[in-house]
Amino acid sequence: MAEQRGGARDAEDAGRDGRGRGGPEAAGEVACAWDELVATARRTVADGLVVGTSGNVSVRVGDIVLVTPMGVPYERLEPGDAVGVDPDGRQVLGTLRPTSELPMHLAVYRTTTARAVVHTHAVHATAVSTLVAELPLVHYMAAALGGAVRVAPYATYGTAELAENMLRALTDRTACLLQNHGTVAHGSSLTQAYDRTAQLEWMCRLWLTASSVPGLSPALLTPEQVSEVAERLRGYGQGRA
């Protein structure tokens, strides 16, 4: 690509001048996080959640937010292409321009404890966003996202208005739909943010499939039933030895 590849050097510089957490260790952490971010972005394409360069991914490392660059195919991204901004959106790593949806990502980090954000244009989720104001409670795994998933009203991509609409829809939730646009999910890691994205797309596909049967309507759960599942999920998994 035409742009300079200076991400690895810039990462070390960020550590030295106080924009990161300091020194070679910080540079190594940023480099590892960038590799994971690129892998996650490529996975959104492989799993059919985005087409081309639509959608974007970010992860926070100390005081740096790493983000996918604007308009660059994910398969072309290399270790030296790292793009990072500070919490105010000032670019501190790399020469490629950050994603146009940077306001949306930064809004999540300002208002939640999230460490990663995944935004996609998943087909079934986007279809649902054009039909309802909230994804009906068709499956108990809505509990994993905080409850019924809301739809943020439409606004032009990359705008402060879209970020504000998204934040309202994300209140007490870890994912939402963007009307006529796509999905946003956040988590404590890229893996968790991606898993929540995939779960949301699956639930949207389920609801659309069940709703398509002529003369029948899907049975829905109550908020109380979903809340009960949320309590059970708190202890789900193997835990730590």
What confidence tens digit (pLDDT) does each residue in 115-149 have?
999 999 999 999 999 999 999 999 999 999 999 99
What confidence tens digit (pLDDT) does each residue in 59-83 have?
999 999 999 999 999 999 999 999 9
**Residue among 12, 101, 134, 224 flagged as catalytic:** 101
HEC readout, the chain: CCCCCCHHHHHHHHHHCCCCCCHHHHHHHHHHHHHHHHHHHHHHHHCCCCCCCCCEEEEEECCEEEECECCCCHHHCCHHHCCEECCCCCEEECCCCECCCHHHHHHHHHHCCCCEEEEECCHHHHHHHCCCCECCCCCHHHHHHCCCCEEECCCCCCCHHHHHHHHHHCCCCCEEEECCCEEEEEECCHHHHHHHHHHHHHHHHHHHHHHCCCCCCCCCCCHHHHHHHHHHHCCCCCCCC
Q: Which residues of the chain have pLDDT under 50?
A: 1-9, 11-12, 15-21, 241
pLDDT of residue 17: 43
pLDDT of residue 42: 97
pLDDT of residue 186: 98
pLDDT of residue 234: 85
Q: Give this prediction's pTM.
A: 0.89
Spatial separation of the C-alpha atoms in residues 103 and 56, rounded to whole Å:
12
pLDDT of residue 5: 40
Four-point Cα dihedral 154, 159, 161, 163, nearest 10: 90
Q: Measured between alpha carbons, how far is residue 198 from residues 71, 119, 202 in Å?
A: 23, 11, 6
pLDDT of residue 143: 97
pLDDT of residue 26: 78
CB within 8 A of 196, min separation 6: which ones? Answer: 118, 144, 145, 174, 175, 185, 186, 187
Active site (annotated) includes residue 101: yes
Backbone φ/ψ region at 94: left (φ over 0), alpha (ψ -120 to 50), beta: left
pLDDT of residue 76: 96
